Structure 1
Amino acid sequence: MKTIAIINGPNLNLLGKREPEVYGNQSFETYLETLRNKFKSIEFIYYQSNIEGEIINKLHEVGFSYDGVILNAGAYTHTSVGIGDAVKAISTPVIEVHISNTFSRESFRHQSYISPNAKGVIIGFGLQSYDLAVQSLIQAK
């Protein structure tokens, strides 16, 4: 069994409530059950924080023993050199995901400090972005 950590950053605890026209009407916890039912051979560990340092600590905690990390750092994607450095420092492959197409939004969202250190990036497929990330980690050798 593979163990995959899903780490969500700021404001993603408000999925289903926050800007439903951009992020949809479903909470992440509800969607996580869908993932667990679809990928029964995967153990998912879910973590969400609005605090940059806590996200870095969680990456350090899981980054040498898990089979993969799916990271949606939210707005920290565009501002946090520290999270980018944490992704670079760990050996577990990280897939960066975004629910919205960040390139169709404000120009400051076009920069990612995570992408250069991530195994891959999945952007703009709604919550299905997480599903695609899981599939990529399952197929990884």
Structure 2
Amino acid sequence: MKLYVVHGINLDQLGTRQPEIYGTQTLSDQWAIWNGWLGQHWPGVELEACQFNDEAACIRFLQEVDGPGVGVVLNPGAWTHSSIALRDCVAGLKARVIEVHLSHTYAREAFRRVSLLAPFTKGTISGLGWEGYRLALEALLGKSSK
């Protein structure tokens, strides 16, 4: 199985941007953890992690990797609440997509409580920090590592 962890706009700033909300770990820190964890629990599962500040590039990537045997953990960042283009892309994917947010979006500003993508995903995990990504990966793989 091929898994992708896709981060949207501004998430390349994790570790320094609003650490009181998002913590101090960077994407690079976390990618190393995910790869080690997958290798330990699911050898042979391929993981590719990427980040986009360009919405069109993100959409193009999702369309290129799409397929019935593909799993995507998607943190769209601010595009969650604003991108009809990304919404339409996710709606048309054959891949299983789980939307993940580090922060508890439903406990923040009112505009962050609306996800344009959620109706087209397998599920949404919000507010569990980096643990939410592990849970999403496990859900896509179909079993728990614990």
* TM-score bin, normalised by smaller chain: over 0.9
Q: Which runs of 4+ in 1 moved over 6 A?
A: none
Deviation at 1:47, TM superposition (A): 1.4
| Residue of structure 1 in register with 2:32 after alignment | 33
Q: Indicate if the aligned counterparts of 2:68 and 2:96 stay in contact, CA closer than 8 A.
A: no
Write the deviation string for residues 96-124 of structure 1: whole angstroms up to 9, x where unpaired. 00000001110000111110000111111
Write the deviation string for residues 53-106 of structure 1: whole angstroms up to 9, x where unpaired. 111111101112652001000000000111111111110100000000001110
**Structure 2 portions without partners, runs of 5+:** none
Query: Partner amino acid for 1:24?
Result: G
User: Quick one: distance in 1 between partners of 2:140 and 2:26?
Assistant: 23
TM value normalised by structure 2: 0.91
TM value normalised by structure 1: 0.94
Matched pairs, number: 139
RMSD: 1.2
Q: Indicate if the aligned counterparts of 1:64 and 1:92 stay in contact, CA closer than 8 A.
A: yes
The 5-angstrom pairing of residues 19-58 of structure 1 reads 19-40=18-39, 41=43, 42-58=45-61
Match of 2:89 among 75, 80, 86: 86
Aligned sequence identity (%) = 37
Counterpart check, 1:68 vs 2:67: no
Q: Indicate if the aligned counterparts of 1:102 and 1:109 stay in contact, CA closer than 8 A.
A: yes
